[in-house]
Structure formats: C-alpha cells, structure tokens
Amino acid sequence: MASERKNKRRRRRRGGFIDIVNALLTLVVIGLLALVGIFLYGANQFYAPDVVKTDTAFTVEKGSSVMTTARRLEEQGLIPQDRMLSSEWIFWAGTRALKKDSQLKAGVYMLESGYSMADILKHITEGKPIDFFINVIPGETSWSVVQKLNAENPNLSGDPVEVPDEGSLLAVRYDYAPGDTRQSLLDDMEARMDAAVAEIWEGRDKSIDDVISSPEEMVILASIVEKETGLAAERPEVAAVFINRLRTPMRLQTDPTVLYGVTMGEGVISRSPTSAELRASTPYNTYQIDGLPPGPIANPGVEALEAVAHPATTKALYFVAKSANPADGHVFAETYAQHRRNVAEYRKAAAEAEAEAAREALEAEQAEEAGQEVAPPAQN
C-alpha cells in the first residue's frame, strides 16, 4: 500500500512537471508566433507603397538620429500615424536591420508621391539632397548680389545685409544649408575673395608692377576685364591691352566704366553709352580720366584676376567685337589705323546681323498670320 501511494505521488509530480513544460512550450510558441507576426506586420508596413501622398520636401537636420528623423517624418504625416505599431519604431527597426543607422545625410530631400518607408530611407541615405546655392556671376555688382541675398527666401535666415564694397566678393558658386544666415554667406564671399586675391597677387608676373602696384589695383582692372569679355581664352589679351595703355600712357576708354558711373552698380544698362554719358565728368568715365577708376566696377572671378596677374604678351592697344554675337569674341590691333578697319568690319557685320534679324522677324510674323506654327529659334 505504501509503495502504491509513492508511485501515485511520483506520477502526479511527473504529470505536473510535464504540464508546466507543455505550458512553457506553448508560451514560447505563442511568443515566437507573435514575434513572427510582428516582424511580418512591420516588414509589410516598412515596404508598403504610397506612404508619401504628395511630393514633399523633407529636411534631415545635421546630427539627427534615426529616431529623431523618424519622429519628424511621422509628425509631418510622411509616414503613417496611429497604427497598431508606431511607424517611427518600424522606421527605426528597418534602418537598423538594413544597417543604415549611421548613413543619414543632412540636407533637404524631395520625397516623391508613392514612396514607401524603405524608399524614404534609401533616399535620405543614398540620394542627393536638393542643392541650395547662390551664384555670384562674374561681372555682377555687389548691389545685385545683395538683392539676391536679401530676397524673400525661407532657406536663409537673419536680417538683411548691407551692400559691401564693390569687387569684394569672389565670383563663384556658394552652397549653403537651409537655415544659414545671410551674413554668414556674405562673410564667406568676402573671405574667399580675400584669399584668392592674396594668392594670385603673390604669384603675379612682376612685370606688371610698373602700372599695377597693389592687389587693389589688380582687382579694379580685373573687374574691367570681366565686363569687357566673357571668353576665358581672350581675357589675358584684353588685360594686356589695358596694361599697354596704362604704360603708353593712354586713357583706358572702356564703356563698362562709363555705365558704372551712371548706375554705381545699382541696376544693369544693356546698351552702349550715349554721347552725353561719354562726355560726362565722373570718376569712372575712363574716356575723361587718366589711369584706373577709383574702384572696381564689378566682382571679378579667378580667371579675370589671373589674366591681370599674367597678361598676354602683345603690343595691342585696341580691340573691338568681331560681330554682334559676344561669343565670337574680339579682334585686336596695335595701331589706330588697323583698329579703324576692324571697327568698320564690325559695323558691317552688325548691320547685316540686324537686317537678318529684321527679315526673320517679318517672315515669322507672316507665317503666324498664315496659321503656321512658329517655333523659337534654335540655340547654338
């Protein structure tokens, strides 16, 4: 009897242990199934298309973590809200699973309609942010540059900036990040000009020192060269003509300085000076004054500065445009007699170009009246 009672107790203990093990296994299986379900749900949500409903710009801030970025995506409605599993956690988990949590790139991205969370992640880790930049165009005045800086622009911050000295801004492209201040961008323009002028002046051809005696004078002449030609290949020759004139000495007689004296850089005059403007007595009228004007007439680029620092070897004292098309450049002359002939050729070419333009305009007008489609002229 005692033996039977012991066996019963052993069977009960064994049965209870098996029940516990079965219960634990059941819980483990349920847990695994739940994890699999959560994983499948999360993956489905992560790769589901059409999360982004409309093309939207999104900013990844400098130093942002994946979770911070995911939270901002959810706040802006770019990933789903009020789901069974938080979208920011799904985005974070997907980023970790794909090992991209250290690859976020700061910038502004255009997220396209139809993107999934996976598409968003790929775009902000592998894609190219939207460029934000301001070009200082070679030959542009400081007033014009400040107009662009001070224009209503949600990507630049800070108070409007004052117009800096003419010729103090290097003519190149300036990239910036949204939120940068106008003043910081202007400071960068001035700093880069200072650095470029110092380097180019240090490496100049010392033969120019008899007429270009300082970095400031180099910038003044470079600004004139910049306004006279947009062709890099002929800038050293244009610079040489002006340097030869300073040595002769002859007045520079350059139209852009005359026009600068009219506007002082505030606005653009797209024409030649009038007779009255050529006769006007202003500090910038190089038909009336000797030597260089008192300051630059624009912001030059590196190529114009280099052209003055290393002018071409030539005896030319004159140049005139080859045609009405600036891309055709200029023809140079050592004597006034040759220059007069070149001017006559230019006037003939300009007149022919004007007549041809008038003929084409009349033909287009008549074609349009006849009901034919008039396409714009092809660009070379």
- Reading the block at residue 110, the tokens are 């255009």
Residue 378 pLDDT level (bands cut at 50, 70, 90): low
User: How far apart (Å, rounded) are the C-alpha atoms in residues 239 and 305?
Assistant: 9
The string of pLDDT tens digits covering residues 152-202 is 877 899 999 999 999 999 999 999 888 889 999 999 999 999 999 999 999
Which burial class, exposed, middle or buried, applies to 344 when counting CB atoms under 10 A from its CB (0-12, 13-18, 19+)?
A: exposed
Residue 271 pLDDT level (bands cut at 50, 70, 90): confident
Q: Tell me which of 29 and 316 has the higher pLDDT.
A: 316
Residue 227 φ/ψ, nearest 5 degrees: -80, -25
Say yes or no to pLDDT of 17 above 80: no
Say yes or no to pLDDT of 130 above 90: no
Residue 380 pLDDT level (bands cut at 50, 70, 90): very low
Q: What is the pTM of this model?
A: 0.75
Angle at 322 between CA 286 and CA 262, to 5 degrees: 30
Say yes or no to pLDDT of 377 above 70: no
Beta carbons of 374 and 367 less than 8 angstroms apart: yes
The string of pLDDT tens digits covering residues 289-344 is 999 999 999 999 999 999 999 999 999 999 999 988 888 999 999 999 999 999 99
Q: Which residues contact 16 (CB under 8 A, 6 or more apart)?
A: none
- In whole angstroms, how far apart are CA 252 and each of 75, 95, 217, 218? 63, 65, 14, 15
Say yes or no to pLDDT of 15 above 50: yes
Give strand pairing partners of 331.
Answer: 320
HEC string for 207-219? HHHHCCCCHHHHH
Residue 30 φ/ψ, nearest 5 degrees: -60, -40
Say yes or no to pLDDT of 103 above 60: yes
- Reading the block at residue 355, the tokens are 């007549």
Residue 330 φ/ψ, nearest 5 degrees: -125, 160
What pLDDT, on the 0 to 100 scale, is given for residue 32?
Answer: 59
Give the DSSP per-residue string, 101-145.
Answer: TT----EEEEEPTT--HHHHHHHHHHSPPPP-EEE--TTB-HHHH
Instruction: Count Cβ atoms below 10 Å from residue 354 Cβ, excluding itself.
Output: 11
Instruction: Count Cβ atoms below 10 Å from residue 295 Cβ, excluding itself.
Output: 16
Residues 62-68, mean pLDDT to the nearest whole number: 87
Q: Tell me which of 217 and 348 has the higher pLDDT.
A: 217
Distance of CA 306 to the CA centre of its chain: 23
User: How far apart (Å, rounded) are the C-alpha atoms in residues 66 and 90?
Assistant: 11
Instruction: Count Cβ atoms below 10 Å from residue 301 Cβ, excluding itself.
Output: 22
Q: Which of 91-105, 126-140, 217-231 has the lowest mean pLDDT?
A: 91-105
Residue 192 φ/ψ, nearest 5 degrees: -70, -30
284 closest CA partner among 223, 360, 365, 212: 223
What pLDDT, on the 0 to 100 scale, is given for residue 2?
Answer: 54
What pLDDT, on the 0 to 100 scale, is given for residue 61?
Answer: 84
- The domains located in the chain, with CATH, are 56-126 (3.30.1490.480), 133-194 (no CATH), 211-358 (no CATH)
User: Chain-wide mean pLDDT for the chain?
Assistant: 87
For residue 258, the one-letter residue type is: V
Q: Which of 42-56, 155-169, 278-292 has the lowest mean pLDDT?
A: 42-56
Instruction: Count Cβ atoms below 10 Å from residue 369 Cβ, excluding itself.
Output: 9
Q: Tell me: cis bond preceding 138? Omega within 30 of 0 counts.
A: no
Which range scores top for mean pLDDT: 126-140, 144-158, 282-296? 282-296
The string of pLDDT tens digits covering residues 206-227 is 999 999 999 999 999 999 999 9
Beta carbons of 289 and 283 less than 8 angstroms apart: yes
Residues 359-375, mean pLDDT to the nearest whole number: 72
What pLDDT, on the 0 to 100 scale, is given for residue 312?
Answer: 97
Say yes or no to pLDDT of 238 above 90: yes
